[in-house]
Structure 1
């Protein structure tokens, strides 16, 4: 815990970015990461192995050339003898790219009679060179390995890289077995020939690896698309259920997803049956209570105080029953077209309030959805429009829109006297009894308030900017537009 608390800010940002929320993105990222990491590592390894192979092959090749030169070299009576023409023809062609040299320490060279006696900057004496080396500048220095040992390295001659294989040997004088002369035989070859092989191999290797990476990426993408296709279908079916276009998930899915689909279908069926039984029981309860209350209220000898209490009981029963019938977030899977409910109310209410002009200021589009129960939306719009018609002088307007930040927006405005600033706060306070509301904002507004709370929606009371009366504005957090 302490270590995570002291992580650098850039590391936290990187870790947050790596937490992909999409399963498809995670699988695709892991597959691409494997391709982009594993194949380049294989490429680098193969390229390095080929370079080592070419280097070893060059050393073996130069070693073979060196022993062919050494086989025809001899020292007799302090004189170095090397044939003018060697078996390997490239040693005989000027600047052929393959060269042979023989050098000796300065002290040893003084006792020798050689075709070439040329001092090098390193203090060595160059005794002989092949015909192929004619016209080239003598090297500044040549390797001098210990007697009987060889060396393989790179040197520069005339600003060109050469690979040189050197071997130090000792020749015993024929007339005296105790006397010997040490020389070093060198075979040089331009490094460009070997570098050309490496570059050609590297070019072909990376070309084919890039093609392989592209093919693997396409295969991985196609495979992931095919593998995740059932999830896309499952999501589509969930959307259909959520929008109320289907009641069950009916598709055939792989074993892992099929178990989830069965559980969801069981949950949906149980929820629908429970809600149906609950509403039927509430309807029966309402009928059982209201009928005796109606009989009591019809009694002629009922005192005014008793009649008032009976009316209050009747009002409380109506309020609590309607509040209990709200499905709210339990109906997460339902999607109701706002226009189906609002159009019906816009046709019905003018018959009840013929003196009020009820119209749309902004009509809902066909794809705007209320994610909840249809009866809840009817209760919300019905109560707010009914209150607005009661309070209005001539006009009531309804606006329905979708806000990308706040979700579905419903606005009911009238040209009445409005709601005072102090009363706006009072009637929206939690726990206010229904009978404390002013006329026109009684039990209906209490039901609206409770339904909004159950959907986590916001209810704001303001003054209408263009009608001058009250404006009731509701925001439902889930975007109220169906998928295309």
Structure 2
């Protein structure tokens, strides 16, 4: 999971889910306790009504047939009453308890009160309120237990209705909160998205720095990135100027040396031979080597930009430019070039570096091939893989490493100075890539380079 917004959203949704579940449990417990307490108080009130309606006679207590609570007179109404003596023998039962096995309590001491949840023989649950009293009938006080019971059907329905309503409201509230959290998260992460867009614009080369106004927490990052870009740009400019000045300053002395050598090899009219022929040839060769070494070292010292901060360079266009140039240079040869490039392939770096790599590889292929040259390119993970092959004599595996050295040549009879592959190797290493030489299916050599994509 690499998306910061996805991670924060999942964490927020998980926290919200836990909060809603715990809140629903707490509210349900509170409602259940309140409903139970309300039924306890109501049943106690029914006990008091029975005690108020009781009439003491010489043979005991009697209750009138009609009671203030109509449910006690309706069979199977769900509300039941009973009065029992100290021996547990019922002396009165409400008409509603007819045919019911209600678990009434008996034998309570005077003043003792008990509220409980009990079940009958069939498993039906009740709330039962028992209250023990002493009733003076004549000279002898007698003990009685007044009991009122109510089945839990209405209580269970009330709880179900509450749970349904609670789930509906909490679900709606959780959805609204989640939407609000997502909106707040999107608003809060907007500066990060804007910074990512500006960095992408810098990579594409459409702008040179980050221009947006960012929050205080992001400002150190954006300011440091702008400072890094400015420093890199200034450094590139200074090094470019220094290299240009160095090349210009070396170019003139080398030209003077070359002219002097030419004059030494061509004496004026009537002048005697100077005898400096072999020496001048050696000096001219060393001048050429010095020019090649200067070019090579300048190329090696040229700074390479960070690949992700360089604009993309289309590979196909670079190959077409080089192929057109080499076709003119080798116009006398019928060289067939086959392209196998992945569509849209691009290189992150300096365009001159890509042209230097492909140019040297294609130049070698044109020199060594018989009639066929192949150029290919693919994106492989985080790397750009390019290769150039030919149908020439190839390079033996034992000499593959040797020909990559500066000044090394596979065949001295073939024109060249032996620094092309060395320059390609240095450029690949500067970008964090590599180069390898293998046998080509065409019969010659296949040189493959890997560069960061």
Q: TM-score, normalised by structure 1?
A: 0.83
The CA distance in 1 between the partners of 2:132 and 2:76, in whole Å, is 25
* Alignment partner, residue 389 of structure 2: 413
Alignment deviations for residues 32-78 of structure 1 (CA, whole Å, 9 cap, x no partner) = 22311212211111111000000000000000001100112244434
Cα distance, 1:360–1:212 mapped onto 2, change above 3 Å = farther
* Alignment partner, residue 178 of structure 2: 217
Instruction: Pick one of 159, 169, 175 that aligns with 2:123.
Output: 159
* Alignment partner, residue 446 of structure 2: 471
The CA distance in 2 between the partners of 1:140 and 1:205, in whole Å, is 33
Q: Within 5 Å, which residues of 2 pair with 1:328-367?
A: 328-329=305-306, 332-354=309-331, 355-357=333-335, 359-365=337-343, 367=344
* Alignment partner, residue 422 of structure 2: 446
* Alignment partner, residue 296 of structure 1: 257
SS at match of 2:89: strand
* Alignment partner, residue 25 of structure 2: 44
> Given that residues 326 and 375 in structure 1 are in contact (C-alpha distance below 8 angstroms), is that contact kept between their aligned partners in structure 2?
no
Q: Within 5 Å, which residues of 2 pair with 1:185-204?
A: 185-204=146-165
> In the alignment, does 2:261 pair up with 1:280?
no
What is the CA-CA distance between 1:140 and the residue it aligns to? 5.7
* Alignment partner, residue 12 of structure 1: none
Aligned length: 431
SS at match of 1:246: coil
What is the CA-CA distance between 1:370 and the residue it aligns to? 0.9
Cα distance, 1:474–1:33 mapped onto 2, change above 3 Å = same
SS at match of 1:291: helix
Moved over 6 A (4+): none
SS at match of 1:46: helix
The CA distance in 1 between the partners of 2:84 and 2:102, in whole Å, is 11
> Given that residues 236 and 303 in structure 2 are in contact (C-alpha distance below 8 angstroms), is that contact kept between their aligned partners in structure 1?
no
The CA distance in 1 between the partners of 2:422 and 2:156, in whole Å, is 87
What is the CA-CA distance between 1:215 and the residue it aligns to? 1.7
* Alignment partner, residue 131 of structure 1: 95
Instruction: Pick one of 86, 91, 100 that aligns with 2:67.
Output: 86
The CA distance in 2 between the partners of 1:368 and 1:326, in whole Å, is 24
Alignment deviations for residues 194-231 of structure 1 (CA, whole Å, 9 cap, x no partner) = 11111101110011111111122122222222332332
* Alignment partner, residue 384 of structure 1: 361
The CA distance in 1 between the partners of 2:174 and 2:371, in whole Å, is 72
> In the alignment, does 2:374 pair up with 1:402?
no
SS at match of 2:192: helix
Cα distance, 1:202–1:448 mapped onto 2, change above 3 Å = same
Instruction: Pick one of 190, 194, 208 that aligns with 2:169.
Output: 208
Q: TM-score, normalised by structure 2?
A: 0.88
> In the alignment, does 2:162 pair up with 1:234?
no
The CA distance in 2 between the partners of 1:55 and 1:143, in whole Å, is 22
Alignment deviations for residues 211-269 of structure 1 (CA, whole Å, 9 cap, x no partner) = 11112212222222233233223212211211223323334444544554344333323
* Alignment partner, residue 84 of structure 2: 103
The CA distance in 2 between the partners of 1:406 and 1:330, in whole Å, is 11
Cα distance, 1:324–1:101 mapped onto 2, change above 3 Å = same
Cα distance, 1:290–1:144 mapped onto 2, change above 3 Å = farther
Instruction: Pick one of 160, 164, 169 that aligns with 2:133.
Output: 169
What is the CA-CA distance between 1:323 and the residue it aligns to? 1.1
What is the CA-CA distance between 1:384 and the residue it aligns to? 1.0
Cα distance, 1:343–1:255 mapped onto 2, change above 3 Å = farther
The CA distance in 2 between the partners of 1:52 and 1:368, in whole Å, is 71
SS at match of 2:407: helix
The CA distance in 1 between the partners of 2:108 and 2:425, in whole Å, is 98
* Alignment partner, residue 11 of structure 1: none
> Given that residues 337 and 368 in structure 1 are in contact (C-alpha distance below 8 angstroms), is that contact kept between their aligned partners in structure 2?
yes
Return 5+ residue gaps in structure 1 as ranges. Answer: 1-19, 107-123, 479-484
> In the alignment, does 2:16 pair up with 1:35?
yes
> Given that residues 403 and 409 in structure 2 are in contact (C-alpha distance below 8 angstroms), is that contact kept between their aligned partners in structure 1?
yes
The CA distance in 2 between the partners of 1:406 and 1:460, in whole Å, is 18
Instruction: Pick one of 243, 248, 252 that aligns with 2:204.
Output: 243
Alignment deviations for residues 94-115 of structure 1 (CA, whole Å, 9 cap, x no partner) = 2111110122343xxxxxxxxx
> Given that residues 326 and 451 in structure 1 are in contact (C-alpha distance below 8 angstroms), is that contact kept between their aligned partners in structure 2?
no
The CA distance in 1 between the partners of 2:26 and 2:137, in whole Å, is 51
The CA distance in 2 between the partners of 1:297 and 1:333, in whole Å, is 39
